[in-house]
Amino acid sequence: MSAVLAQLGTERRFWAPALETQSRADWDALKLERLRRHLRHAAEGSPYYRAAFAAAGVGPEDLRTLDDLRRFPTLDKRTLRDRQLAVPPLGDIVAVPERDVVYVCASSGSTGVPTASPFTAEDFDDWIDYEARQFWSSGLRPEDRYGHALNLSLFVGGPCVLGAQRLGALSVHAGTLPSERLLQIAQQFRLTALWTTPSYAWYLGETALKQGLDPRRDLQVRRLFVAGEPGGSIPQTRQRIEALWGAKVYDYYGLSDIFGSCAGMCEQQDGLHWAEDHIHWEVLDAAGEPVREGERGELVLTTLTKRARPMIRFRTGDIVSFTTEPCRCGRTSARLLGVHGRLDDMLIVKGVNLFPSDVEAVVRRFAEFNGEYRLVVERVQHLDRLTVEVETAPGFVGDAPGLAGRFAHALKSASGVSAEVRLLAPETLPRATHKARRVDDRRGALWG
């Protein structure tokens, strides 16, 4: 048993009690102090930040409160990629000499070019430590046997499994194995915990059943840590997986551009505790202003300690909501309530921002519809044309043109967008088993 564990004792509730239960004012004070130091480090070490701060007319000395961070420029995935290509191999957002970098996590992202997420030895150690803290909050203990069944290189990476090791659990670095082999390992080593994606947890459980294994009876897995898809925070999805496995499901949120996991569910399963001592969060509306607590906006992240490549106001493109209400577990860190979608899902039609969920809210108001719909966007003579295809409820025999007109009017007043409406018979639109495809954007097709 390591020295850390000898001090900790396995019955202890918190990994770092003073930190995890401090007041919100103490969290803010800790973040402000770290942020000041981190901005100075970024400006001194990174040519990119020096230029970006100068262009925005701000410097580290302008930060007096956490709110002052809003005066600093944001950056996005495209900038990460462009700076990396401009100054290979790691780019000039990096703020330490390359000899201090010991680990790179490569993520492909949507741009197709792998972007490197570099770590110093100290950064890497911080990551392992708070990964252990998050696992502890989800109930993982030294007696557990943990199987890591996510891709170890390109995805959130190896250090997550090292967090389980630091905590003292017996850890199996499984990676992505064929499911039959993974089930064999789970049986042979009597794994009690697994890390995977929600859809794979479901698939693996079903595969076990097909092989005549009942996960609830024939396997010992009692905790499933899931990440990479929204399912782990959707109660209905989580409960189905829990029933299949006879195990608890804990959702984690991560971003390889920063750390592997940034937040994880405690045993209360009520939101994901954010690693606020390492990463500051903002939730912003389209104008860049903070939304009220609990409301949805884009998640913008700022590292507080990661020395290799500070990320100052990184736009994640994830639409999220947060709460700072204390959790029933006693921890006081802010909780991520859910990732509600991607900014990428947003359509811009005739200059207006439109989410499929905006249309859905109007569709569901009409009893004459069965809830299924699709948005088709085309460009006709250089102008956007939006058509909403919507299925009527079974047995609908009313005034179809009148219904289409009322729906178009309701949509226009709710979203500001005018649309053509095409009513369809029930069961006309293609059904998806996993994720419904609500948008058919044909505008890009013009360019191949």
To Zn ion, the closest distance from the beta carbon of 121 in angstroms equals: 30
What's the min distance (Å) between Cβ of 16 and Zn ion?
Answer: 14
Does residue number 331 form part of the binding site for Zn ion (CB under 5 A)? yes
Nearest to Zn ion of 84, 138 (CB atom) = 138
Joined together, the tokens standing for residue 345 give: 């899902």
Write down the H helix ranges in 105-197. 121-137, 159-167, 179-188
Name the residue among 394, 392, 415 with its Cα closest to residue 402: 392
**Binding piece for Zn ion, criterion CB under 5 A, among 29-37, 242-250, 259-267, 363-371:** 259-267
- 327 in contact with Zn ion (CB under 5 A): yes
Of 14 and 189, which has the nearer Cβ to Zn ion? 14
Q: How many residues bind Zn ion (CB under 5 A)?
A: 5
Tokens of 435: 């994720």
Residue 271 CB, nearest distance to Zn ion (Å)? 7
The separation between the first and the last C-alpha atoms of the chain, rounded to the nearest angstrom, is: 60
For Zn ion, the closer CB: 149 or 329: 329
Q: Which residues pair with 170 in a beta bridge?
A: 145
Calculate helix-pair angle for 400-415, 356-363, nearest 10 degrees.
130
Burial 32-59 (b: 16+ CB within 10 A, else e): bebbbebbebbbebbebbbebbeeeebe
- Under 8 Å between Cβ of 157 and 181: no
The CB-of-335 to Zn ion minimum distance in angstroms stands at 7
Tokens encoding 153: 């290189």
Contact pattern from residue 276 through residue 315 relative to Zn ion, giving x for each residue in contact according to CB under 5 A and a dash for the rest: ----------------------------------------
CB of 270 or CB of 441, closer to Zn ion: 270
Length of the chain: 448
The reply to whether omega before 394 is within 30° of 0 (cis) is: no
Minimal distance in Å, beta carbon 130 to Zn ion? 15
Under 8 Å between Cβ of 239 and 214: no
State which residue, 266 or 411, has the beta carbon closest to Zn ion: 266
Shortest CB 266 distance to Zn ion, Å: 3
Q: Dihedrals φ, ψ of 168, to 5°?
A: 110, 0
Task: Specify the residue, 175 or 326, whose C-beta has the smaller distance to Zn ion.
Answer: 326
**Residue 213 amino acid letter:** L
What are the backbone dihedrals phi and psi of residue 55, each rounded to the nearest 5 degrees, phi first?
-65, -30
The neighbour count for residue 337, using CB atoms within 10 Å, is 17
Q: Is 172 in the site for Zn ion (CB under 5 A)?
A: no
Phi, psi of 352 (to 5 degrees): -105, 135
Site for Zn ion in 388-447 (CB under 5 A): none
Taking the complex as a whole, the smallest distance from the CB of residue 68 to Zn ion amounts, in Å, to 30
Stretch binding Zn ion (CB under 5 A), from 25-33, 163-171, 244-252, 262-270: 262-270
Alpha carbon of residue 345 to chain centroid: 15
- Considering beta carbons, is residue 38 or 331 the nearer one to Zn ion? 331
Smallest separation (angstroms) from Zn ion to the CB of 314: 25
The sign of the dihedral angle between the CA atoms of 63, 69, 70, 71 is positive
Smallest gap from Cβ 128 to Zn ion, in A, equals: 21
From the list 43-51, 236-244, 260-268, 421-429, the region that binds Zn ion by CB under 5 A is 260-268
The residue from 268, 353, 387, 428 that contacts Zn ion (CB under 5 A) is 268
* Segment interacting with Zn ion, rule: CB under 5 A, options 174-182, 207-215, 289-297, 322-330: 322-330
CB of 270 to Zn ion, least distance (A): 6
Which C-beta is closer to Zn ion: that of 259 or that of 274? 274
Show contacts with Zn ion in window 106-165 (CB under 5 A): none
- If one asks whether residue 324 binds Zn ion (CB under 5 A), the answer comes out as no
Please report, as residue ranges, which positions from 34 to 53 form the binding site for Zn ion (by CB under 5 A): none
- Amino acid of residue 74: T
Element (H, E) at 243: helix 235-245
CB 53 within 8 A of CB 75: no
Tell the smallest beta-carbon distance from residue 293 to Zn ion (Å): 17
CB atoms within 10 A of CB 198: 23
**Selected range binding Zn ion among 32-40, 311-319, 321-329, 362-370, rule: CB under 5 A:** 321-329
Helices then strands, each counted (H, E), the chain: 13, 19
Residue span binding Zn ion (CB under 5 A) among the ranges 27-35, 267-275, 345-353, 366-374: 267-275
- Closest to Zn ion by CB, 270 or 378: 270
User: What residues numbered 43-102 form the site for Zn ion, per CB under 5 A?
Assistant: none
Element (H, E) at 47: helix 47-56
Is position 329 an interface residue for Zn ion (rule: CB under 5 A)? Answer: yes
> What minimum distance in Å lies between the beta carbon of 194 and Zn ion?
21
**Contacts to Zn ion by CB under 5 A:** 266, 268, 327, 329, 331
